[in-house]
């Protein structure tokens, strides 16, 4: 491929000097960055490893402290005597009950972690009258982790974070503020089971003294169990919504950002481990000042080269650039300002000719616009005249007033059939020509359909029977106006009338999970084509209905026609729930 030669002197000077300075800048920056990056990463590795070790030791002490508190509770004589007595089904006196629960309350007061202690019998019955009430009882009896602990045979176990004493559905991380320590209460003589203890601990208190060790070193720190479930986090990374993608042994990808990973198992409770993440970008943050200094020197040098080359060639190329800018402005649909000739050479005649050309084009376009505006005014006046003629042909309000007058005369002369016919036609006409509402209730749409069939009854007699199956709760659902009447009209003209005898048209409206299914079924002669193009009373065909359904609700809401000659026709469609 042949490289296009650079013909402009100013561009050549600028490009050559820029390439040299840019190359030197990149070489120096790369060397310095490589040396400093390795050293900084090494130092961060040492610091992060020490921090993870310290955090693990602190958590070991915290967990051992909770175990010690549990040991003290289990070896308290008042608690042991009470639990043993309850296990032997011996009733305790009110004084004994009060002393027992006061003792448990005292342990909660002097402990740094415990917020509540709930004793349970061997059959998992809550001893504390307070926690045996709703909603606490529901949280305890429905606690799957308690059931798993009882079945596991472990002597003690820490739970995942929960919402106790509150009952939240689908609680997020922020609402899971409590960790429960499950413990078996054993007889001191034969080590048989006499009950269980649920010791509730504030999650924040358990981990609060590791915050200072995490901030400033790790971007985010997580305490997770052996299944990877989150126990506690420090930092802005949402553990629930990330995928820790392993890059190598000590590097992971989090949302397309690389982090160094440091982790350690908590010896006091091996089912938990600490994970610390450090962004690789943060490791090299100390190099930013050096990089920016080098970049600024390079940019300044390039700017000086560009300025010098630009100043040198400015006097020569300015007139040409002026013409180029004016032409670009003209190409973008804007009229350029008149150029001024600053030299007394060939460029002066070029500028004068360019100004003259722009002037002639501008005059020509203005003349064309003027003629087009006059033609448009004539066309608009002609269309207004035609529209006035069409609107004057019929006045819907005049029709309504006339029908009301005829209806009054029918009532006056006791002509009930004429009155009923006029009322049905008046209601049908009002619904047909109304433009204020595009959606009406199913109840109103069925009323419109019934008005139409009342009118046809006087023409064809009792040739058709209408059956409507609609649940009462769907009466106020909204549907497109005039969606059922054209379907009934289609069934009448294409199904029942050609049959030569009485028939039935059935409207089934069936509620589904996310939409309403509507069926119009007749037992007429059937239709040979999939969709009829017949336009009846209101000029609405089946194609028009299908198009309106797609327009209102989307392409998946389409009209479906099933027909079999001699059997009948079924037209069905779906609409979403709208109230």
For 503-538, write each residue's pLDDT tens digit.
999 999 999 988 999 999 999 998 765 444 555 555
What's the chain's average pLDDT? 78
Q: For residues 569 and 531, is the Cβ–Cβ distance under 8 A?
A: no
Region 36-65: mean pLDDT is 83
Q: Given this model, what pLDDT does residue 387 score?
A: 42
Q: Which CATH number fits domain 75-207: 1.10.10, 3.30.450, 3.30.1490, 3.30.70?
A: 3.30.450
**Helix segments in 394-441, DSSP class H:** 396-412, 416-433
Q: Which residue has the higher pLDDT, 128 or 296?
A: 128
- Tokens at residue 234, please? 């420090």
Region 217-237: mean pLDDT is 87
Distances (CA, A) of 431 to 307, 338, 401, 483: 76, 64, 15, 12
Q: Given this model, what pLDDT does residue 139 score?
A: 85
Region 281-300: mean pLDDT is 67
Region 445-465: mean pLDDT is 84
| pLDDT > 90 in the chain, percent | 14
For the chain, give every domain's residue range: 75-207, 215-285, 394-434, 437-576
Domain 437-576 grouped into CATH 3.30.565.10: yes
Region 357-367: mean pLDDT is 78
Q: pLDDT tens digits for 121-148? A: 998 888 888 888 888 888 888 889 999 9
pTM summary value: 0.47
Q: Given this model, what pLDDT does residue 432 score?
A: 57
- Tokens at residue 232, please? 């506690």
- Which pLDDT band holds residue 149 (cuts at 50, 70, 90)? very high
**How does DSSP classify residue 5?**
P
Q: Given this model, what pLDDT does residue 16 score?
A: 66
DSSP string, 280-348: HHHHTGGGHHHHHHHHHHHHHHHHHHHHHHHHHHHHHHHHHHHHHHHHHHHHTT-PPPPP---SSSHHH
> How many C-beta atoms lie closer than 10 Å to residue 357's C-beta?
11
Q: pLDDT tens digits for 374-416? A: 666 656 544 553 444 344 344 454 455 555 556 555 565 665 6
Question: Which of 552, 564, 576 shows the shortest CA–CA distance to 523?
Answer: 564
Q: Given this model, what pLDDT does residue 171 score?
A: 86
Q: Given this model, what pLDDT does residue 180 score?
A: 94
Question: Which of 567, 505, 495 shows the shortest CA–CA distance to 532?
Answer: 495
Q: Given this model, what pLDDT does residue 201 score?
A: 93
Q: Which residue has the higher pLDDT, 29 or 486?
A: 486
- Which pLDDT band holds residue 238 (cuts at 50, 70, 90)? confident
Helix/strand/coil (H/E/C) assignment for every residue in 469-521:
ECCHHHCCCEEECCCCHHHHHHHHHHHHHHHCCCEEEEEEEEECCCEEEEEEE
Scan for tokens 């199904």, then name that residue.
Answer: 495
Q: Given this model, what pLDDT does residue 509 score?
A: 92
Scan for tokens 């350029």, then name that residue.
Answer: 336
> Alpha-carbon distance 206 to 111, whole Å?
11
Helix/strand/coil (H/E/C) assignment for every residue in 72-133:
HHHCCHHHHHHHHHHHCCCCCCHHHHHHHHHHHHHHHHHCCCEEEEEEECCCCCECCCCCCC
Region 96-119: mean pLDDT is 88
Q: pLDDT tens digits for 535-549? A: 555 546 788 888 888
For the chain, give the number of residues.
579
Region 144-153: mean pLDDT is 90
């Amino acid at each position: 491929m042949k490289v296009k030669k650079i013909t402009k002197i100013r561009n050549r000077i600028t490009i050559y000097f820029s390439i040299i300075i840019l190359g030197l800048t990149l070489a120096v920056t790369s060397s310095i960055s490589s040396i400093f990056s390795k050293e900084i990463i090494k130092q961060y590795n040492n610091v992060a490893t020490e921090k993870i070790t310290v955090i693990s030791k602190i958590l070991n002490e915290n967990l051992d402290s909770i175990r010690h508190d549990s040991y003290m509770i289990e070896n308290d004589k008042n608690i042991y005597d009470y639990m043993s007595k309850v296990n032997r089904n011996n009733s305790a006196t009110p004084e004994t009950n009060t002393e027992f629960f006061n003792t448990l309350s005292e342990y909660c007061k002097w402990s740094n972690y415990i917020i509540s202690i709930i004793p349970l019998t061997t059959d998992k019955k809550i001893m504390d009258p307070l926690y045996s009430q709703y909603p606490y009882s529901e949280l305890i009896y429905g606690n799957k982790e308690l059931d798993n602990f009882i079945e596991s045979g472990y002597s003690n176990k820490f739970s995942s974070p929960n919402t106790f004493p509150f009952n939240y559905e689908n609680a997020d991380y922020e609402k899971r503020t409590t960790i429960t320590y499950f413990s078996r209460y054993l007889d001191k003589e034969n080590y048989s089971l006499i009950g269980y203890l649920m010791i509730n601990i504030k999650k924040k208190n358990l981990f609060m003294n590791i915050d200072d060790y995490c901030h400033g070193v790790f971007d985010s720190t997580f305490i997770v169990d052996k299944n990877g479930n989150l126990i506690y986090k420090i930092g802005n990374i949402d553990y629930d919504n990330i995928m820790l993608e392993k890059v190598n042994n000590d590097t992971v990808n989090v949302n397309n950002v690389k982090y160094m990973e440091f982790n350690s198992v908590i010896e006091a409770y091996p089912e938990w481990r600490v994970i610390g993440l450090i962004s690789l970008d943060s490791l090299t943050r100390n190099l930013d000042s050096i990089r920016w200094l080098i970049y600024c020197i390079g940019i300044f040098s390039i700017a000086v080269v560009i300025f010098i080359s630009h100043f040198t060639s400015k006097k020569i190329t300015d007139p040409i650039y002026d013409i180029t800018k004016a032409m670009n402005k003209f190409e973008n649909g804007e009229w350029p300002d008149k150029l001024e000739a600053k030299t007394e050479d060939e460029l002066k005649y070029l500028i004068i000719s360019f100004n003259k050309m722009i002037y002639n084009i501008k005059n020509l376009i203005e003349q064309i616009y003027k003629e087009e505006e006059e033609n448009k005014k004539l066309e608009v006046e002609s269309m207004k005249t035609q529209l006035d003629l069409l609107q004057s042909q019929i006045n819907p309000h005049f029709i309504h007033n006339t029908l009301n007058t005829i209806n009054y005369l029918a009532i006056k002369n006791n002509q009930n059939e004429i009155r009923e016919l006029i009322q049905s036609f008046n209601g049908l006409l009002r619904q047909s020509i109304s433009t204020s509402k595009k959606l009406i209730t199913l109840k109103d749409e069925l009323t419109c359909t019934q008005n139409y069939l009342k009118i046809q009854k006087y023409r064809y007699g009792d040739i058709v029977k209408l059956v409507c199956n609609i649940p009462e709760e769907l009466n106020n659902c909204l549907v497109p106006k005039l969606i059922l009447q054209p379907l009934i009209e289609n069934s009448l003209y294409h199904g029942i009338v050609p049959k030569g005898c009485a028939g039935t048209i059935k409207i089934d409206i069936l509620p589904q999970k996310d939409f309403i299914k509507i069926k119009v079924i007749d037992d007429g002669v059937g239709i040979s084509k999939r969709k009829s193009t017949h336009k009846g009373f209101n000029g609405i065909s089946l194609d028009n209905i299908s198009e309106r359904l797609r327009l209102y609700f989307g392409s998946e809401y389409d009209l479906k026609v099933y027909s079999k000659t001699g059997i009948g026709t079924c037209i069905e469609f779906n609409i979403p729930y709208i109230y």
